[in-house]
Structure 1
Amino acid sequence: MMSNLVRERTPERAVHGQGTGAFGFFEVTHDISHICKADFLKKVGQKTPIAIRFATSGGSRGSADLVLDNRGYSVKFYTREGNFDIAGFNTPVAPFKDPLDGHIITRSARANPATNAPDANMALDRATLVPESLHMLMYTYSGRGIPASYRNMPGFSVHTYQVENENGDQYFIRCHFLPDGGIKYMKAEEARQIRADDPHYLTKDLYRAIENGDYPSWTFSVQILTETDVENEGPGVFDLTKIIPEDRYPLHEVGKFVLNRNAKNFFAEVEQLAFCPCNLVPGIHGAPDKVYEARRLIYRDAQVYRLGGNVFNIPVNCPFLVQTHTYNRDGMPPVSGGEGPNYYPNSFNGPEPFVPKHSTGLINIIEKDGADNFDQAGDLYANILTEEERSTLIKNIVSKLKTATHFLQKRALELFTSINQDFGDRLKQEMNITICSN
């Protein structure tokens, strides 16, 4: 027993360590088979089992829910053609568009190696060295960083997916998951008070709601672009740090998510959930940007390290609506496999690889030098945020800036002023009140 105790823990996730999840179904409400031939999207009224996981980004397993942080929002569809995963965020943009910047974003959110405590200098250094991340930071610090509940938190694919219909025509979609109960946030002061007594408030709120039959739901919608639209708009529609304007490409409803079952065992069903961008189904090619390409490799590698080489034999990760024949045999449990040989080609009725009828590849995109990383951030501040959200944004930024070193404060204020003059002026005014600068 004691030996089991010291060996039973698996490595936690490198990011999104603290989170929760639940299970339910996706129901198609609007037919989009004219743009995507994926089986689970073909018929109005068709239901597909799903799992959704919500998580903070920087927190380790067991850390508090109610911290100011961007959030993960990941969905697994258990379709009749295999599993399809979307590993998204609660903001419509991501913090970087070059996969090489991913380690900066991740490691700067961890503890300082000397103090083993969060460090405002590391966080601010990251934000100013990868300035396109400021767009996401503004969404997070203007209120979205602390949802009132996971039931009121939106989700976004962030990537623009390339899909095709039965005729092989190519389209491009960006996914939005908007809570039917409305998007609601919590003030930092209220969150601090609740966190003192109930650090896992969001986790327990979701569990209790589902147990009481108050099933949360979200409307799943997509923005749709044609190949001509992509040619006219340019590579910016694949930039994770930018939105696709809804006034030009409005939302088209696809269906509803409903969560109606909690995990019977949290570790087995939620902690072992493995979302991987490499899990795709016919009709959905993935995204052509380099971050998506990197995530397909990195996520798979991370999950093999964390849960073992047979990670997709773990029940919660199995595509249980379709019979699978894989080459994976033996190795670390859980294991599976039939009687046929696990190589191809073979002469004994062993598994054969899936070969799609149409093998259309992802399009190639090239972003030219000189991309404007601040145009949408400036528009967010000036035209999208309410005055209350702008005040919340400034207050939250100042609370981080005031503990940072002077050169980082200066660099940050210059960048925020570049985004919007009023934004920078108000931050400088608050900083003059809050600290004495030389």
Structure 2
Amino acid sequence: MKNEEKKNASDNKKHQDLERNREDSKDQFLTTNQGLKINDDQNSLKAGDRGASLLEDFILREKITHFDHERIPERIVHARGSAAHGYFQVYESMEKYTKAGFLQDPSKKTPVFTRFSTVAGFKGSTDLARDVRGFSVKFYTEEGNYDLVGNNIPVFFIQDAIKFPDLIHAVKPEPHNEIPQAASAHDTFWDFISLMPESTHMIMWAMSDRAIPRSLRMMEGFGVHTFRFVNKENKGTFVKFHWKPLLGTHGVAWDEAQKISGNDPDFHRRDLWNAIDNGQFPEWELGVQIIPEEDEHKFDFDLLDATKLVPEELVPVKKIGKMVLNRNPDNFFAETEQVAFHPGHIVPGIDFTNDPLLQGRLFSYTDTQLKRLGGPNFHEIPINRPIAPMHNNQRDGHMRQEINKGQTSYHPNSLRGGCPFQAKIAEGGFDSYPEKIDAKKVRERSKSFKDHFSQATLFFNSQTGVEQQHIIDALSFELGKVGVAQVQERMLGLLNEVSNDLAQKVASNLGMKVPERKEQLNHGVPADFDPERYEPTKSSPSIEKDPALSMMHKGFGNIATRQVAFLCADGVDDNSVDEMKKALKNEGAMVKILGPNSTDVKTAGGKSLKVDEAYRTTASVVYDAFYVPSGDKAHKAMRMIPKAIHFLNEGYKHCKPIASAQENGLVEETYFWKNLNKQNLAEDGVIIGKGKSSEFIEAIGKHRFWKREEKDSIPA
């Protein structure tokens, strides 16, 4: 009996030990899934501190493999997306820098498929979440598929791919309650960020209006990493990729973004689809920053650091071609959902660098596609098939479609005459860039990666006053959602490294004080950086501002595809509608007629004017500007429609242009009218009177009148 009691006690202890091991304890060591204690979870194993990541890094592979396979069939990140077909055409041959075939002939159009996405949200989340946007392009070239996998922000949160699972786990809904959805304003995200100073630069971008774009058609795209061009002489050149939208780069107001999410969570998807459906094809120019290899160490940052960008003030962007998206997918699942992008899908003339974030992605993407798309044959799905012929000895596997003939499936062979053959370099065979490597295996990062704040400061200083205030408001909102004071204090300490003024204003909004600096957190890279003799010093940035980092620095002007709401009711003046509508359409804007019901309104001339949306079924936040045509009867009717008055109040609150062809009309019923400077209405983006189409068009071209935010808040 005693032996049995001892056995039971022993079994209970083992069970308790096992349960204790599963608890979220505070005194446990980090281990692999096999129980091996991990000494360094911050750095992947590399061939030297600036060298390539090594395949033998079993800790990196285990961590990313588990992450890649956590959710299926939905993408772990970039789950919510929309896409379109199109083409790319180079402006002039780039043979001086690269032998990539699709960058040689200006007369050739290369087919592309481009997918845009949010990062953190699930498939059912909103388009207008504050988030990074994916911007990935698949080029179907004659040398094979090339995938330019990027984002709408040129930098990233982390420097080493081994931290990617941690980043996404932190920003995703918290695991104990699956809250919040598609939002970074919660404890776990900011806890992680506050302990990762390298994320500070990216945070500045994510808290800016770049993270809430007006349209997918109106945002930039970036390759993020530094890549290599390689020409026929095998000479390498560093390159950064940029997509520049021809419609300009625009954002929305945060209050507006939240309301759009409620009124039309598919706002960006619908906008892209409708633009293409209406023949208003989105266009981007592909730009490159070319950096000779001999200039690799001439900057005050490391080119291999994905948390850094190359300022356009230092290296201008050269426009080399244009992408046009001109066809919507025929089937969302078959194309947009099943498309598989991979930064490792390259062609001769384009190659990698030793960026440790990029190196990890080269493993992760294939691993993810294997799970998400059912096996190793995802390349046979029609949207993923190259136009270049495929010949290899890979066979079988789940969902194999190609029927390979013959008895050989190996190389070399003689039974099939050696076919398929290896291609010589002169025949287009790919050869990796022969970068010299002479280093020890280490699990660490180069000291040249230790400047975490200089470019965050550069970004903040480069913004207009309006944009800076939006960043302050965003940080105040996000950190105000954090329930742990210690996390908030750590973030204020990091923000103080960027700008004391920024930190003080956010702290004031939180009702806190900026903590005293206890140690030097930032270490810069001197201009004469020598990787063999580098010692950290205080950073001295080459420039203090870069206008290209601001969305507002150039102004706008182009109103093509802008959505202008005409507020109408029975009795609206025919000429007032027709003249403004014609003027706007000549500039490429889209006119939407709003009315009391969804059928039509009767004009003063007795005509029927088709209504696009009834006031009750739409919202002001989905339009860019508002126009009220003249007509006494119409204005009298609209005074009795609270939603019509609300449209103008809310449009004014969100700093949008407003025009009315009639004085003493609906506009005078608004909250904001009594506080306007009637002597200079146009300066405030309010146009009153007949025959003012040119003034209204000019106002729309300015995008927003952000000075309104300085006034008392409009109750809308």
Alignment TM-score, normalising by the size of structure 1: 0.93
Q: Which of structures 1 and 2 has the bigger CA Rg?
A: 2
C-alpha displacement of 1:354: 4.5
CA contact (8 A) 1:127 1:133 kept: yes
How far does the alpha carbon of each residue in 1:283-306 deviate from its partner, in whole angstroms, 9 at most, with x for none? 111232121111111000000111
Alignment partner of 1:413 is 2:492: yes
C-alpha displacement of 1:370: 6.7
Distance (whole Å) between structure 2 residues aligned to residue 255 and residue 94 of structure 1? 25
Query: Residues 167, 380 of structure 1: CA spacing in aligned structure 2 closer, same or farther, 3 A cutoff?
Result: same
Equivalent of residue 315 in structure 1, options 382, 385, 392: 382
Equivalent of residue 39 in structure 1, options 101, 111, 114: 101
195-204 vs 325-334, greater mean Cα deviation: 325-334
Query: Residues 234, 314 of structure 1: CA spacing in aligned structure 2 closer, same or farther, 3 A cutoff?
Result: farther
How far does the alpha carbon of each residue in 1:378-425 deviate from its partner, in whole angstroms, 9 at most, with x for none? 11112x111111111111111111121100010100110111111111
Letter in 2 for 1:372: D
Alignment partner of 1:306 is 2:368: no
Equivalent of residue 52 in structure 1, options 99, 103, 114: 114
Query: Residues 199, 334 of structure 1: CA spacing in aligned structure 2 closer, same or farther, 3 A cutoff?
Result: farther
CA contact (8 A) 1:92 1:155 kept: yes
Distance (whole Å) between structure 2 residues aligned to residue 83 and residue 363 of structure 1? 28
Matched residue SS, 1:238: coil
C-alpha displacement of 1:136: 1.4
How far does the alpha carbon of each residue in 1:32-78 deviate from its partner, in whole angstroms, 9 at most, with x for none? 21000100001223210011111111011121111111111111110
Query: Residues 262, 10 of structure 1: CA spacing in aligned structure 2 closer, same or farther, 3 A cutoff?
Result: farther
Equivalent of residue 291 in structure 2, options 225, 228, 233: 225
Aligned to 1:97: 159
Q: Which runs of 5 or more structure 1 residues have no equivalent in the other structure?
A: 1-8
C-alpha displacement of 1:233: 3.3
CA contact (8 A) 2:144 2:347 kept: yes
Distance (whole Å) between structure 1 residues aligned to residue 92 and residue 328 of structure 2? 27
Distance (whole Å) between structure 1 residues aligned to residue 319 and residue 436 of structure 2? 25
Distance (whole Å) between structure 1 residues aligned to residue 432 and residue 296 of structure 2? 21
188-197 vs 264-273, greater mean Cα deviation: 188-197
Letter in 2 for 1:314: I
399-408 vs 114-123, greater mean Cα deviation: 114-123
91-100 vs 346-355, greater mean Cα deviation: 346-355
Query: Residues 370, 254 of structure 1: CA spacing in aligned structure 2 closer, same or farther, 3 A cutoff?
Result: closer
Alignment partner of 1:63 is 2:63: no
Matched residue SS, 2:139: strand
Equivalent of residue 252 in structure 1, options 318, 336, 348: 318
Alignment partner of 1:398 is 2:476: yes
Distance (whole Å) between structure 2 residues aligned to residue 131 and residue 417 of structure 1? 12
Alignment partner of 1:138 is 2:204: yes
Distance (whole Å) between structure 2 residues aligned to residue 120 and residue 354 of structure 1? 53
Alignment TM-score, normalising by the size of structure 2: 0.57
Aligned to 1:4: none
CA contact (8 A) 2:301 2:451 kept: no
Aligned to 2:420: 351
Distance (whole Å) between structure 2 residues aligned to residue 363 and residue 182 of structure 1? 42
CA contact (8 A) 1:285 1:362 kept: no
Q: Which runs of 5 or more structure 2 residues have no equivalent in the other structure?
A: 1-70, 440-444, 514-716
Alignment partner of 1:123 is 2:123: no
CA contact (8 A) 1:142 1:393 kept: yes
73-82 vs 324-333, greater mean Cα deviation: 324-333
Alignment partner of 1:360 is 2:433: yes
Structure 1 segment 141-220 matched on structure 2, within 5 A: 141-220=207-286
Structure 1 segment 260-279 matched on structure 2, within 5 A: 260-279=326-345
C-alpha displacement of 1:335: 2.2
Aligned to 2:455: 376
Aligned to 1:327: 393
C-alpha displacement of 1:10: 5.8
CA contact (8 A) 1:25 1:48 kept: yes
Letter in 2 for 1:24: G
Alignment partner of 1:427 is 2:536: no
Alignment partner of 1:112 is 2:178: no
C-alpha displacement of 1:246: 1.3
Q: Percent identity?
A: 36
CA contact (8 A) 1:329 1:335 kept: no
C-alpha displacement of 1:91: 0.6
Query: Residues 339, 275 of structure 1: CA spacing in aligned structure 2 closer, same or farther, 3 A cutoff?
Result: same
C-alpha displacement of 1:232: 2.9
Q: Which has the higher contact order (CA 8 A, sep 6+)?
A: 1
Letter in 1 for 2:470: T
Distance (whole Å) between structure 2 residues aligned to residue 262 and residue 115 of structure 1? 37
RMSD: 1.9
Distance (whole Å) between structure 2 residues aligned to residue 263 and residue 354 of structure 1? 35
Alignment partner of 1:386 is 2:464: yes
Aligned to 2:358: 292
Matched residue SS, 2:238: strand
Matched residue SS, 2:326: strand
C-alpha displacement of 1:31: 2.3
Matched residue SS, 2:348: coil
